[in-house]
Chain A
């Protein structure tokens, strides 16, 4: 009887291990596949020419595969989303974690969760129908589909991650710190910004990095509002991101063009890896606290 029980336990352990390995295998498979399929084009085009070439003309008679415009667009787009999204998300988080009454908090937090659950194609659709025409009228530009429109959409899309992670970090600040500050005669607002926020800064940094990751990896919504032309980035011009460059040409590509798209994906992947490493660094610091 005992032996039977034990072998059952071992079997269950084995099943769990196997299921856990599925994730690991997927990550390994994707990494290896991306590297293998991304390298040939880079080798053929030349790393410098690929990364720093300013023209992307994959279907021209004399094709040119420079992705600097995509890289810069992704970087600018993400930076813009962070500049707009982080202050809003951060302040919202402070409000929710420290100031809001329980009722307001419940309502607002479910709104934030809902925002996180909206599919990116819907963001793109709303952006296309409302934001793009509005930008055209407001700024008197020929086409509203632009880097600016993408930045606005991205900054809204990253709000939920920033708010949720920051709220969690702020709520984890021991009440004793805040009591000590109040007992010294600091006002509640002074206490939030001088004690609670500094004590939660690793978590808040993690929230920002998570937002960066979300913004840089987004494809569908930005494709719908950014015009998707391979220009060097400019605020009110049609632009193409790393993600959208891959998505928009994959269906009809072949030969070196297709290989180059894999190389773009590899570059994107490396960006994400870098962001993940940063995120882990901050999360680890939070845990050590």
Chain B
């Protein structure tokens, strides 16, 4: 396995009294795609949101265990959450562009982090939109409201927006579940291109999607990490009976 960028050790998470993650330990390899699969409510989205501390926003969350990102503990009180989230970007299930122009959507992150000057921002916006494979579709209407784009375009814009702050990791929470098959395949292609430069962790309900694009797959069930390994192995020779049942469609 390649060197890992995030190391999760013995992670437990409670929403109030309900335990949503149970002793999860896994390493996420740099510049690869890691897929998280499992039935609804298995904790995969919760796990994803722990990695950039978006779970902090939910009242009553308690977390034990450790998550090391580039050798630093993300739960350490000295960790700058804003900087962590800049480095670990996120794409949400439902495309959520801001109700602003396409340009302002992409420029929002860099501006927030202090990038000034039109030329510089223009550069970042173009590069990010190109990287997200949407530049050609929007280059003539950068000043138009982003809400006028189609769902698939909106999602690629959201990816561009996330790339604009130059993250190292991109977390994707079921990024294609609200999209049609053509838009989905575009996002999948895009993910495969992006892993040249970025580490991607993707939650998906779609096992074919996991099989198509990911290098490693983690199977979650009821808050537990049941099995984690190289995607081809996990799908062809699952070690755990529960994994086999799930990927062959016997439940979930």
Contact = CB atoms under 8 A, between A and B. Distances in A.
B92 A180 contact: yes
Interface string B40-66: 000000000000101001000000000
B131 to A, nearest CB: 16
A182 B98 contact: no
B98 A185 contact: no
B70 to A, nearest CB: 16
Contacts of A187: 82
Given A179-B54, A194-B108, A185 B165 contact: yes
B112 A185 contact: yes
Contact of A180 (B83, B86, B96): B96
B9 to A, nearest CB: 24
Contact of A177 (B54, B83, B99, B162): B99
A183 B52 contact: yes
Given A176-B92, A184-B109, A185-B112, A199 B98 contact: yes
Contacts, number: 63
Interface residues of B, number: 25
12 contacts: A177-B99, A179-B96, A180-B97, A180-B98, A180-B161, A182-B54, A183-B54, A183-B85, A185-B83, A186-B82, A186-B109, A199-B99
Interface of A: 174, 176-177, 179-187, 190, 194-195, 198-199, 289
A204 to B, nearest CB: 14
A184 B113 CA distance: 9
Interface string B77-88: 000001111100
A186 B90 CA distance: 13
Contacts of B242: none
A183 B82 contact: no
Nearest to A180: B96
B134 interface: no
Contacts of A177: 96, 98-99
